[in-house]
Amino acid sequence: MNATASEPAPPTGSDPRPASNVKRTLLILAAVWIGGMVALFLIFGSGGRNNTYQPQNEFKLDNWVHLGVFSINKAVLYLFLAAIATCVSMIYIARRMQARPNKVQTAVEALYQLMRDNIAGGNLDERMAKRWFPFIGTLFLFIMFSNLVGYIPLPTNTEHKIDVLGLHIPSFSLYAATANLSIPLVLALMVFVSYTFEGIRAKGPIGYLKGLVPGGVTGGMAVFIFFLEVLSNIMRLMSLSIRLFANILAGHLIILFMAGALAVILGLSALAWFTIPFGIALFAFEVGLVAALQAFIFATLTAIYLGGAVAEDH
Amino acid sequence: MHIAFITFLAAVTEETAKAGKSIGLGVGGGLGAVGAGVGIGIIFGKAIEAITRQPEMRDEITQLQWLGFALTEACFFYGLVAGLLAAFIV
């Protein structure tokens, strides 16, 4: 009898202790979260609606250096930052290539392989892939760096200043060159020009226009489809640019609201405590997935359009 | 009498314009999210189905899945941008 009583319980699955520990930690965290919110609400209450803070001013572009059309503002600064980051990091790594790669080199090599084999090689034939891989790879890296630089808080918000030891420095804000419609639009225009150019070179101007209509369609239907195809070529410009711009802008907006803008507008300090975990989670999502994914999509679609422009039949 | 009525009408129109802007933002964001949500669900469901049928094609399917995900997700942002335009700019 005694022997059976002192026997340890049969092992059912995993050890129950760690599970309960995790559960307890989660419960404590949830209690701190909810309790903190209630406490903050009781202490500070509602300050009433704040009408002076305009969230759209976070994306306003003030000219810092006045040079007419070439004025330098926040977007230009971020454009330069992204370009410098791309060039410096890639040239530095390429110069220091070693036979036994370290972690950074392995990551860059994986990126290079993705660009060469999947993005360019997977959608273009061998000759085209060789010719256009530098363009597609540069687009991919530049967009990715531009998106990632945007998630580093930099003192660029000249709308609001903070006082540090008598120095008025601009408050820290998130902004990306790609969160402004102009820059994705210019990139999309470059893509449009290059695939049209490549198509005309491969088939001649008449042949390229004829190639827009699929083979076997004749008469009035061919005219209709021709206009539809021309329209869809113009829509490609819009969809390429708006996809990139809106993804990054929406990411910045939702991080802004979750990280406190909502609380500032509504005058509820307790709300900021409530939304900040969502803000951190969304920040991780944007940095980890969206920044690289949008660059990947842009480069892949560029390769698909280039391949489609030179393909023999539609 | 007339002037009072006109001021009343002006106030009503202003309020209505505000309400219209809010509705624009809500419809642009909300209905856009519905469509994109259905689309993303279909994409991931089909990708899981395809991978369970042919696990050896996992890498290719994953790449296509992310392509489809990003293209569908972008449709939500088209709606959202239209809503933001309606609310803040127009």
Pick among B67, B72, B85, B90 to test the A interface (most A CBs inside 10 A): B67
CA dist., res. A63 & res. A79, Å (int): 15
Question: Does B74 reach chain A within 8 Å, measured CB to CB?
Answer: yes
Q: What share of chain B is helix, strand, coil (3-state, %, to 5)?
A: 95, 0, 5
pLDDT recorded at residue B81 = 83
pLDDT band at B1 (very low <50, low <70, confident <90, very high): low
pLDDT recorded at residue A232 = 87
Kindly give the parts of chain A with pLDDT less than 70: 1-19, 159, 163-167, 313-314
pLDDT recorded at residue A17 = 58
CA dist., res. A271 & res. A276, Å (int): 9
Write out chain A residues lying below 8 Å of B78, CB-based: 242, 246
- In the chain, the amino acid numbered B41 is G
pLDDT recorded at residue A4 = 47
Q: Work out whether the CA dihedral A10, A15, A19, A20 comes out positive or negative.
A: positive
Rounded to a whole number of angstroms, the CA Rg of chain B reads 22
CA dist., res. A109 & res. A98, Å (int): 11
Measured in angstroms, the CA of B80 and the nearest CA of chain A are apart by: 8
- A167 beta partners: A164
Per-residue pLDDT of B34-82, as tens digits, reads 989 999 999 999 999 999 999 998 888 888 888 888 888 888 888 888 8
3-state secondary structure of B10: helix
Written as one string, the DSSP assignment of A193-232 is: HHHHHHHHHHH-HHHHHHHTSPTT--THHHHHHHHHHHHH
Nearest to A135 by CA among A218, A192, A220: A192
Write out chain A residues lying below 8 Å of B61, CB-based: none
CATH of domain B2-89: 1.20.20.10
Question: Does B77 reach chain A within 8 Å, measured CB to CB?
Answer: yes
pLDDT recorded at residue A3 = 46
- In the chain, the amino acid numbered A246 is A
Of B63, B67, B78, which has the smallest distance from its Cβ to A242's Cβ?
B78
Question: Does B66 reach chain A within 8 Å, measured CB to CB?
Answer: yes
Is B19's pLDDT higher than 90? no
Cα–Cα distances (Å) from B12 to A240, B25, B86, in that order, read 41, 20, 19
Question: Does B67 reach chain A within 8 Å, measured CB to CB?
Answer: yes
End-to-end, the C-alpha distance of chain B in Å comes to 33
Q: Chain B: residue nearest A114 by CA? A: B63
Write out chain A residues lying below 8 Å of B70, CB-based: 243, 247, 293-294, 296-297
> What does the domain layout of chain A look like in residue ranges?
63-310
Q: Work out whether the CA dihedral B58, B59, B65, B68 comes out positive or negative.
A: negative
Pick among B63, B65, B69, B90 to test the A interface (most A CBs inside 10 A): B63
Nearest to A139 by CA among A257, A306, A258, A311: A306
Written as one string, the DSSP assignment of A253-304 is: HHHHIIIIIHHHHHTBHHHHHHHHHHHHHHHHHIIIIIHHHHHHHHHHHHHH
pLDDT recorded at residue A1 = 44
Predicted TM-score of the model (pTM): 0.81
Task: Write down the residue that tokens 């969809």 correspond to.
Answer: A239
Question: Does A51 reach chain B within 8 Å, measured CB to CB?
Answer: no
pLDDT recorded at residue A244 = 92
pLDDT recorded at residue B48 = 94
Write out chain B residues lying below 8 Å of A249, CB-based: 81
Task: Write down the residue that tokens 């991931």 correspond to.
Answer: B44
Measured in angstroms, the CA of B67 and the nearest CA of chain A are apart by: 6
- What DSSP designation does A171 have? E
3-state secondary structure of A73: coil
